[in-house]
Chain A
Amino acid sequence: MSFKEAVQNPYSPWMDDAAPETDVVISSRARLARSLADFPFPHHLSPDKAERVIQRVALAVRETEFSARFGDTEMVRLAELTPVERGMLVEKHLISPDFVMRNHASYQYKGLALTADERLSIMVNEEDHLRIQCLYPGLQVTAAARDADEADTLLEETLDFAFSDRIGYLTACPTNVGTGLRASVMLHLPALVLLGRVKDILTAASRLGLTVRGLFGEGTESVGHLFQMSNQVTLGMSENDIAKNLDSITRQIIEQERAAREQLREQMPVVLRDRVSRAFGILRHAYVLSTDEAMRLLSDVRLGVGMGLIKGVAPRLLSELMVKTRSTYLAKMSGRQLSPPERGELRARVVRQALGNISADDGE
């Protein structure tokens, strides 16, 4: 099992660019919230019961049927990981930021089961006893939902989940009750932001039962033009309908973003080319970079790569740099907490090393 690998390597398979629609959709996720019957929810749990929850799930993922489908899956407690290692798992989107907060349960009773391919992770004693999560590259919401469903079915062989025939799977927060399914996509929408259209589209999505938020920063002023869109409602809709609804609205947004990109290419070709090439130049030659600047420039380069204006740079490299330019990774790299000026310098070096040697063709 590769927990060491997972906390060391900034690359995760969800960054793979050989997946559907990766020019706009970076990744797709399905998350199921499940509670064990006969146990209070995690924030109400005594240490010995929290321990029993973690042991039951550890046994369930070791069942032969489960490992036959998902591979060897080992349970690690957050207490066994260093703060930097926990941070790496957050930056790689394998666990939620909430999970590493000191709430609900102590690190000793918070567990993580992770498959070797990092596609399936199960957080134990987060807000609910289990958070089963599947993460795929590109637009693969239905595949992610199907995998999470399979994992749930296999776990249910040995675990008794709290369920009511009227309101479905019972969760600590009433916003998750029913299917417990939160399906989401990470979108890169630079052209819609540049043309000032992103607000309208996001408002429309919210009318269709979806929530959109900036991945870094709040609201529509998302740093790096990254947005996370997910279903709002978990009760009264089937899992299939939730996934399909998200999938079809995402497809419409993909079309809008692509049209906006073509509009930029036609109406302001020089401005566009200047923007992406300038970003690429700064990233390749800067000696100091702040987090925000790095995120912004990486977004512009991604746009250039997606439109064929910059050749020779793999999108997966840019996704990996999104993790590598975070403070957590820089701290892990240097083995200590860095001062802000030190971070800025190391961040620029990491980016130069990743992009500097690429004999990129600017398409001219």
Chain B
Amino acid sequence: MICERCKQQPASVHYTEIINNQKRQMHLCEACAKEAQKAFEAGPTLNLKHFLAGLMGPAIAQETPTDARPFRCESCGLTEEMFGKYGLLGCGECYRNYERLAPLLRRIHGSTRHTGKVPQRSRKKYRWVQEVERLRAELQEAVEKEKFERAAELRDEIRALESRLT
């Protein structure tokens, strides 16, 4: 077989492309194949950033409620357009737009819930949050049973814990 581009050298590179079930074949010599590859590489490349932005695009919009406000982070001002440009979020607070991001996360990871490590500091914080909730319930009970001395103690404990939480 002779190279179909220069029609001189024997074809040693056979390239098959299938786009939308349309099959196209090319038989090239080594030199022409290199040229063709260069032309191919010079074209627009699909990088991760564009890919992510695409995932946030119209297809996703259908999965999100139609009355959803446009994505904009209150904290750093990142908009959907900016995310589309860089494929990066602006700050941790951007993740508060969870409803908009959840479909994207599901597509990337197949999951939307973290099951791994929890930072030590947060672990303590979560324990405190839980402890405050428990004390509140106890306080409620103490007030109902008119155990005011105990209620005062509990109130102080809650205040102390809450001051550590902020």
Contact = CB atoms under 8 A, between A and B. Distances in A.
Q: Does chain A bind chain B?
A: yes
A117 interface: no
Interface string B94-138: 010010010011001111111111111110001000000000000
B88 interface: yes
Interface string A124-168: 000100000000000000000000010011001100111111111
B122 A165 contact: yes
A89 B137 CA distance: 57
Contacts of B114: 164-169, 178-179, 235-236
B91 interface: yes
Contacts of B105: 167, 174, 177, 235
Contact of B117 (A39, A149, A167): A149
Given A174-B104, A174-B108, A177-B95, A237 B116 contact: yes
B91 A40 contact: yes
Contact of B112 (A35, A153, A169, A236): A236
A43 B119 contact: no
Q: What band does the interface of chain B fall in when counting residues whose beta carbon is under 8 Å from A?
A: 20 to 34
A158 B13 CA distance: 58
The secondary structure that dominates the A interface is loop
Interface in A228-247: 233-239
A220 to B, nearest CB: 15
A345 to B, nearest CB: 25
Contacts of B89: 41, 172-174
Nearest to A32: B117
B84 interface: no
Nearest to B56: A174
A170 B108 CA distance: 15
Given A43-B88, A172-B88, A174-B104, A236 B111 contact: yes
Nearest to B87: A173
A165 B105 CA distance: 15
A233 B110 CA distance: 8
A203 interface: no
B76 interface: yes
B142 interface: no
A43 B78 CA distance: 11
Contacts of A168: 114, 116-117
B65 interface: no
A93 to B, nearest CB: 20
A212 interface: no
Nearest to B114: A168
A170 B115 contact: no
A177 B111 CA distance: 11
Contact of B116 (A39, A44, A181): A181
B91 A39 contact: yes
Interface in A25-53: 35, 37, 39-41, 43-44
Contacts of A353: none
Interface of A: 35, 37, 39-41, 43-44, 127, 149, 152-153, 156-157, 160-170, 172-175, 177-179, 181, 233-239
Given A165-B122, A233-B110, 4 more contacts: A40-B91, A168-B116, A177-B109, A238-B115
23 contacts: A41-B91, A43-B88, A44-B90, A149-B117, A163-B119, A165-B114, A165-B118, A165-B126, A166-B112, A166-B113, A167-B105, A168-B117, A169-B117, A170-B92, A172-B88, A173-B87, A175-B48, A175-B108, A179-B114, A181-B116, A236-B113, A236-B115, A237-B115
Interface of B: 48, 52, 76, 78, 86-92, 95, 98, 101, 104-105, 108-122, 126
